[in-house]
Structure 1
Amino acid sequence: LATASVISRLPDQAEARQTSLQDATSVYDLLSIGMARRGQYAMLSECLERAMKFSYDEFHLWHQLGLSLMAARKWVAAVSVLKECARMRPDDPSLPLLAAKICIGQLHWVNEAENLSKRVASMGEEAREFLPRAYLALGLSFSLQASEGKVSPRPQSNIKTMPFLHRANSLDPQDAQISMYLALQLALVRQVSAAMEPLQTALSLRADDLLSLHLLTLLLSSQKHHRHALDTLSLALSQHPDNFNLLLTKVKLEEAMLGPAAALQTCEEMLQLWQSQYDISQVSPVVRKVSVHLNLPDFQDASTERMESLLILLLLLLLLISLSSLRFVLTPIPPLSLPVGELFMADGRLKEAQFCVAEASSLSPNSHSVLLQRGRLAELRGQLDEAKALYDEALAIHPTGERILGRLLVKTGRVHLGEKVLRDAVQLHSTSHEAWSGLGEALQARGSSQAPDCFLTALELEASSPIRPFTIIPREL
């Protein structure tokens, strides 16, 4: 009877409906407390979804549902519910910002995040302490748009980003995250010296911040202070020893300072670290089946047994990361066999590199990163037509790697086509010294007087090039 009175919208049932709604809300609040303590967010969200049939315009239950969907990692549904909550309470700035946080961090809906953030920024002083966060969200949205690789919005997005981040920083200079992202954006446009000041501010406010320490490492590497960069990275790893993004940066630094062999040792340590943290007995039968049917090549080397062990660990780590990540469909994690494959290629060990690339290809055949490395391996083997086909396929999936394809075209005598591809590359990646150098080679091949300017630009950019791209620092609210 209580449910019937709640569902009924007749005017004479208004009082009974309100009483029943209050009782139901109390029950759902207790249910939320009990299930949240046990981490049963998916079941909680399902229970709250069933309550929506009698909760029209009842903000509290809608808000509870939105939060439970966030906790259950049902991102798309959470954004929809939070937008409905924002419709019910248009003066609450926290609701659009929560939705923007999901759009930026989990869904990569940067245009949607921009619109939601603008809604909060338009409130002005009424947004209170949320106003700096709104400007930060706007800055991150435009920064991510600039990194998308689309020709038309890229320069404009970079230009739009800085005013929003400066505005956020002026509104809340004590926010370490805002200072760090301001430094990151300056680094992305290669204003390396200018990036140091806000980054120092961020570290003075939060000395153990993972992203700030990682960014400092990259900035030091861009200034070619590799020893200082490695010391900073060691400090970060002492506080975050199991962070694989930091460890991959360590691999690159060791490769630059000590050579591929030392970097491969760190790769092995990474994989053993993951193996020690993950209970292999819990791996699904599909994973176990794949690991059983690995076809390891005969490397004809004294260290074959050790290398096989390393590669098995490597592939297991790749599988476990892919299965445990809820974002790999939208923003694929680069297969960890690729860095090892790069190290083998740098060391001239093409058989080992072929094995890494082949296994990565079997696991992620449509990854543009895998296709690019397959093309690179084919190029090193002199199979230029196959390399071009692989580069073309990679570019069809994701607009990156133009500089590699352009240089290959120039190398094979198709200078004019290579020049066009490389001009597109410098438009998309204006801070890539490889793209500018390749364009210089194309122009030099046809005797253009503009070639020296391209080479000079490439040298200037290479002088500020980090050991890994600045874009590896995640941009999240």
Structure 2
Amino acid sequence: MTSRSKNAVRSYETEIEKSREESNWKKAVELAQQLKARSPQHESLAHFLIGEGKLEAYLEECAPIKENVERAQRELSEARGYLTLATDEAGKKAGVALDSHLLLGKLNYACGAYDDALKHYKLAELNTLTEKELPVRSLRIVAESYAIKGLCLEQTALPGSTSRYKQAERESEMIRSFEVSSELSLLYLQRCARCAGATLEAALLRAPLLHIRAGRLHAAIDRYREMLTAVESVSTQALRLTLARQLAEVLMRGVTGQVYQAPRKVAAPSQLQGTLTRRREEYVSEGPWKPKKYAGINQFVPRNEYEEVLLLLLVGEAMAVRDAVLSQSGEFSAARDHSLQNAVAVADLLALAAVRWGQLALVIESLERAMKFSFGCAHIWRQRALATAAAARAAPAPPAPPLPGSAAWGASVRALGVCRRAAPLLRHDAALRLLAASTAYRAGWIEEGIELAEEALSIEEARGGVLLARCYLYCGIGRQSKAQKTNSRIEKEADNDTSLRMLLKSVELDDNDHLAFYHLALQYIHLGMLNEAMDATRACLRARSECGGGLRLAAALWGAACAGVRGRRALAAARLAHHHYPGAEWPLASLAALQLVWESGEAALATGKELLKLLNGADGEVDTEHTNGYAELDALSDSQHDDTHSNRDAASIRAESAGAYRVERALSEGASSQSQAQAAPRARPPLAEHRAHAWLLLADLCLRLGRVNAAAGCVSEAASLTPFSHLVFYTRGLVHAAGAEWPEARTCFQNALAIHPTHLDSIVQLGATYYSLGWLRLAERTLREAGALQPSRADTWRRLALVLAALGEPGAAADAAAAALALHPLLPLAAPPAAHLPL
């Protein structure tokens, strides 16, 4: 490389070398000119130093890109002359000819003369350079020479008649140039704290991309790993972030299953030498042109692509957060935008990877760390809103609006708060508001959800967006839920009319949306329009045959008919639902109820036992996705199952439902805390509640089959799980009623109503119990209260007709009987008034 000066010019040499390493090219040129004037025998060395200084000074000002080619041709003529003078015989004797050829290759690349640049590298015999220790400046020159050679090979096209062998050889030479350059670049950056520059960074990033283009995916991955295992320095921090992100993208896009090959662990020096050491970390280097690499006994090595991707993205996210610019001053605007762009890119990749594997907590933590430097960044806030809403959706929730202070309630509050904060930053984002509305509906905040859905509707109406049908759907769901929540008949009718209008508009705009048809069918059921509900259910199943809500509605509507063919269809729908949702409980519950009517009691009992076995097989927690089966329906009015045991009231959520659930939970927790020292640990909610419902279903089946003692045992099992549930008291009252134990039945129904004052089945059965006890006026008042709560229930009017007839009021009894016939004309009026189950 560059020869040492004689003793007479040693001081100049020292100053020049210092200026070169510091990239102080103006001073280096001045010192070289003084050296030339003072020592003519060092003229070749001076020519090289002057040409080098002028070339590097220009390149610091103007990057070697195509837009600057003409300028480079004008302004680098002087540098070209000096470097050409240094390549003569005197330059060879002085030892600067090799470096001059390398710099002339760099100069010609800046001037767009790629073939001339390759000629100079050929004259310098770049491919045959001996690997040995080099000074820092010489190390950079050689690294840039290999990088420029690869870039020139990319820019110069081979003739069309060139053989494939020549083309492959040229491609191999190009990749090798980039690989050697990347190794020398990393070594250079480890030895000095300077910026790599555009040329070296291009070489570092280019080699793996060429491997990918050639179809050598594993070679590209190994190249990324080689660069990432190099010891980090101040100069490589930003580069390592880019490499980690690109490697994660490659692994996520192109590597799955058996294609993946785990990285090899770098052997520590103690392992290489066969000796033991207690040092936790060592650095190793495989040669004078190889960068130092991390090596340690306890070094973590990923075992599969999932671990490696998450490790890369978490490390990249830590580096992006560390390098973030926090200052809001205008002078740091460009740096702040650049750091934010890097952080956003890594956060988006982390979201893709982590959500795919169910690691929402990682995404939320990452986005929360990004909050400190992403003030006003709409994208970060939107991502955080999506992540928190997904976490709230995934949180285990009881079959009612979550209790304040519970994990599910906290997740919903958090998600809704983030959505509210993000909305002003995204004024025209209807999807974000629909997401917030869905979260509000699930948490039981119906009015707030309606407000958000209407905001989304106004946005989409203003611009005619593609989400207009879904906005009408969410507005209809909100009104549907509000109608089921209120007890005011005027408000209920108004909300029902609005909901029906919104849902019909949604179906009109998108006739392939199974959710819209499902909620339309549900609304028709609420309005008593069963034929229209059946048509909407068929449309829902045509749009999506495995829709759980559609299958459930089909089973219920067909099961309510009296024709045998429809009974078989109802059974088929329930079995199909169980096939699509094998881990859900509701298909088995529906199937058991239908089997009791259309098959046999033994078949129904067998299905009930299968349901109980399914719940008992759960390992301490409920799979909320399969438990609800149709949780994707986003329907508050059908996704809350506080009254699932009652086939009448399950579709009619009252305002007191949430309060009743809270009372039951408080009483049950109080009872469990008192008996905790004596009793075995109880099953964790909501698993205990689902098991209790399964036992209550078995009790129903046993009662219908006349097995009163077996039903009593099932109720006792349910009471041990949820001792203060209104459904337990209700079913126990049915057991007493089946045994004609009317005072005990009355007490049980009253206890159920004390917890859930509007549980309709308990009110009707209490009225029937009063009738059996001979308390006719109490029976009349209770049944009229039930009729006021739910006027469309036929058995309420049937029982009231019998009570009025016993009171000697034939006119009023006839009116009640006519109402019962109008609501359910096929139901016999002579059924026993105190039947142990609601019809």
Q: Distance in 1 between matches of 2:614 and 2:692?
A: 18
Q: Distance in 2 between matches of 1:151 and 1:375?
A: 29
1:391 aligns to 2:710 (yes or no): no
For 1:63, give the aligned amino acid: R
- The alpha carbon displacement at 1:119 in A equals 1.3
Q: Assess if the C-alpha contact under 8 Å between 1:192 and 1:464 holds in 2.
A: no
The residue aligned with 2:818 is 456
Structure 2 gaps, min length 5: 1-319, 395-410, 622-681, 828-839
The residue aligned with 1:40 is 359
1:375 aligns to 2:733 (yes or no): yes
The residue aligned with 2:429 is 92
The residue aligned with 2:374 is 55
The residue aligned with 1:253 is 594
The residue aligned with 2:447 is 111
- The alpha carbon displacement at 1:168 in A equals 1.2
Q: Assess if the C-alpha contact under 8 Å between 2:794 and 2:824 holds in 1.
A: yes
1:85/1:222 CA distance change after superposition, 3 Å: same
Q: Distance in 2 between matches of 1:38 and 1:231?
A: 35
1:434 aligns to 2:772 (yes or no): no
The residue aligned with 1:142 is 479
Q: Assess if the C-alpha contact under 8 Å between 1:151 and 1:427 holds in 2.
A: no
Q: Assess if the C-alpha contact under 8 Å between 2:469 and 2:507 holds in 1.
A: yes
1:354/1:170 CA distance change after superposition, 3 Å: same
1:28 aligns to 2:347 (yes or no): yes
For 2:709, give the aligned amino acid: K
For residues 260-315 of structure 1, give each alpha carbon's deviation from its aligned partner in whole angstroms, at most 9, with x where no partner exists: 3331122223344556xx4x6x548xxxxxxxxxxxxxxxxxxxxxxxxxxxxxxx
Q: Assess if the C-alpha contact under 8 Å between 2:530 and 2:557 holds in 1.
A: yes
For 1:444, give the aligned amino acid: A
1:262 aligns to 2:581 (yes or no): no
Q: Distance in 1 between matches of 2:474 and 2:355?
A: 28
For 1:64, give the aligned amino acid: Q
For 1:78, give the aligned amino acid: A
SS in 2 for 1:114: helix
Q: Distance in 2 between matches of 1:79 and 1:127?
A: 26
- The alpha carbon displacement at 1:84 in A equals 1.9
Matches within 5 A, 1:36-435: 36-72=355-391, 73=394, 74-104=411-441, 106-123=442-459, 124-126=461-463, 128-148=465-485, 150-152=487-489, 153-225=491-563, 226-272=567-613, 278=617, 282-283=619-620, 319=683, 322-323=686-687, 335-398=693-756, 399-400=758-759, 401-435=762-796
For residues 66-88 of structure 1, give each alpha carbon's deviation from its aligned partner in whole angstroms, at most 9, with x where no partner exists: 22223333333222212222221
Q: Percent identity?
A: 30
1:333/1:354 CA distance change after superposition, 3 Å: closer
For residues 325-374 of structure 1, give each alpha carbon's deviation from its aligned partner in whole angstroms, at most 9, with x where no partner exists: xxx7xxx7871110101112222322222221122122112322222112
SS in 1 for 2:478: helix
For 1:122, give the aligned amino acid: S
- The alpha carbon displacement at 1:13 in A equals 4.8
Q: Distance in 1 between matches of 2:705 and 2:765?
A: 20
Q: Which moved further from structure 2: 183-192 or 144-153?
A: 144-153
Larger Rg: 2
- The alpha carbon displacement at 1:14 in A equals 4.3
- The alpha carbon displacement at 1:93 in A equals 0.7
For 1:458, give the aligned amino acid: A
1:355/1:444 CA distance change after superposition, 3 Å: same
SS in 1 for 2:499: helix
For residues 163-214 of structure 1, give each alpha carbon's deviation from its aligned partner in whole angstroms, at most 9, with x where no partner exists: 1111111222232321232122212322112223333333333334333233
- The alpha carbon displacement at 1:5 in A equals 7.6
Q: Distance in 1 between matches of 2:704 and 2:352?
A: 55
Q: Distance in 1 between matches of 2:451 and 2:746?
A: 40
For residues 88-108 of structure 1, give each alpha carbon's deviation from its aligned partner in whole angstroms, at most 9, with x where no partner exists: 11211101111122233x323
1:455/1:2 CA distance change after superposition, 3 Å: closer
The residue aligned with 2:101 is none
Q: Distance in 2 between matches of 1:22 and 1:76?
A: 29
1:14/1:419 CA distance change after superposition, 3 Å: farther
Which of the pair is proportionally richer in helix?
A: 1
The residue aligned with 1:473 is none
For residues 222-253 of structure 1, give each alpha carbon's deviation from its aligned partner in whole angstroms, at most 9, with x where no partner exists: 22232332234344444445543222111111
For 1:257, give the aligned amino acid: W
Q: Assess if the C-alpha contact under 8 Å between 2:415 and 2:436 holds in 1.
A: yes
SS in 1 for 2:795: helix
For residues 377-432 of structure 1, give each alpha carbon's deviation from its aligned partner in whole angstroms, at most 9, with x where no partner exists: 23334443443333233224332132222222333343333333322212222222
SS in 2 for 1:417: helix
SS in 1 for 2:466: helix
Q: Assess if the C-alpha contact under 8 Å between 1:177 and 1:202 holds in 2.
A: yes
Structure number with the bigger relative contact order (C-alpha 8 A, sep ≥ 6) is 1
1:374/1:46 CA distance change after superposition, 3 Å: farther
Q: Assess if the C-alpha contact under 8 Å between 2:691 and 2:718 holds in 1.
A: no
1:149/1:375 CA distance change after superposition, 3 Å: farther
Q: Assess if the C-alpha contact under 8 Å between 1:252 and 1:263 holds in 2.
A: yes
Alignment RMSD, CA only? Answer: 3.1
1:442/1:107 CA distance change after superposition, 3 Å: same
Q: Distance in 2 between matches of 1:116 and 1:208?
A: 30
Q: Assess if the C-alpha contact under 8 Å between 2:507 and 2:517 holds in 1.
A: yes
Corresponding pairs, count: 421
Q: Which moved further from structure 2: 176-185 or 3-12?
A: 3-12
1:242/1:13 CA distance change after superposition, 3 Å: closer
For 1:174, give the aligned amino acid: N
1:239/1:4 CA distance change after superposition, 3 Å: closer
For 1:71, give the aligned amino acid: A
Q: Assess if the C-alpha contact under 8 Å between 2:389 and 2:436 holds in 1.
A: no
- The alpha carbon displacement at 1:11 in A equals 5.1
Q: Which moved further from structure 2: 414-423 or 108-117?
A: 414-423
Q: Which moved further from structure 2: 90-99 or 376-385?
A: 376-385
Structure 1 gaps, min length 5: 285-317, 466-477
- The alpha carbon displacement at 1:464 in A equals 7.9
